[in-house]
Structure 1
Amino acid sequence: MAAPSFRFTHFDLKAQRAGTIIEVTLSAVNNVRLMSAVNYQRFTEKLDFKFIGGVAKKSPIRLVIPEGGHWHLVVDGEGHHGLADSAVRMVSAPSAGTAPPARKQA
């Protein structure tokens, strides 16, 4: 499987419920892209894909999971000076249970 030509950090958020709020902390301006599993696969295959987010000029930023399912978050430096250090945490979930922290993958 081909990968994009720019560096990025991938967070597999696993299964999430609609309405879950995630908070992304960055050390510099970067792109933040929240994607469904299908769109993440398209991203890794260099195909057109859809995402929520965009250029994050301040940190932290919060994004809301729009629908239940398996989600991925990508932080990348495409069009910027480099790849920022980044971290993701679940701020709130729509149910009483809180999702486990996301794992960083290369």
Structure 2
Amino acid sequence: MPKPNFRFTHYDLKEQRAGTIIEVSLNAVNNVRLMTAPNFQRFTEVLDFKYIGGVARKSPIKIAVPESGHWHVIVDMEGHHGLAESSVKVIAAPANQKTPRAS
């Protein structure tokens, strides 16, 4: 099975709720890609895949999880000079606020 021909760091975020904020810190410009489990599988097989994110020129970068499910973050050097050192922090989704009922 072919593998991507560039270096990357993989973070398995497991199950995350919609609205959860993923904060990625980098020490250099790299690509940051948030993707579902099936898209991560396609990424590892060098097939077309979908993701949220792109080139991170500043750090940290924050990406919101669009829907509940199993998510992965990839930090990769495709198109850049080298693989950045990176870290990922999961920030809980804001609690659903209930509007008070008029009496």
- TM-score > 0.5 by shorter chain: yes
Structure 1: runs of 5 or more not aligned: 97-106
Map 1:22-101 → 2, pairs under 5 A: 22-95=22-95
Query: CA shift at 1:95, angstroms?
Result: 4.6
RMSD (Å) for aligned C-alpha atoms: 1.3
Whether the 8 Å contact between 1:18 and 1:94 is mirrored in structure 2 is: no
Q: TM-score, normalised by structure 2?
A: 0.89
Which residue of 2 is the match for residue 14 of structure 1?
14
Partner amino acid, structure 2, of 1:45: E
Cα deviation, residue 24, structure 1: 0.3
**Counterparts of 1:50 and 1:23 in 2: how far apart (Å)?**
19
Mapped partners of 1:74, 1:2: distance in 2: 17
Question: Residues 10-48 of structure 1: CA distance to partner in whole angstroms, max 9, x if unpaired?
Answer: 000000000000100000000000000010000000000
Paired positions, count: 96
Per-residue CA shift, 1:46-87, capped at 9, x if unaligned?
000000000000000000000000000000001001000000
Shift of 1:90: 1.1
SS in 2 for 1:54: strand
Q: Normalising to structure 1: TM-score of the pair?
A: 0.86
d(CA) in 1 for partners of 2:33 and 2:90?
Answer: 16
3-state SS in 1 of match to 2:42 = helix
Equivalent residue of 1:38, what SS?
A: helix
Q: CA deviation at 1:91?
A: 2.0
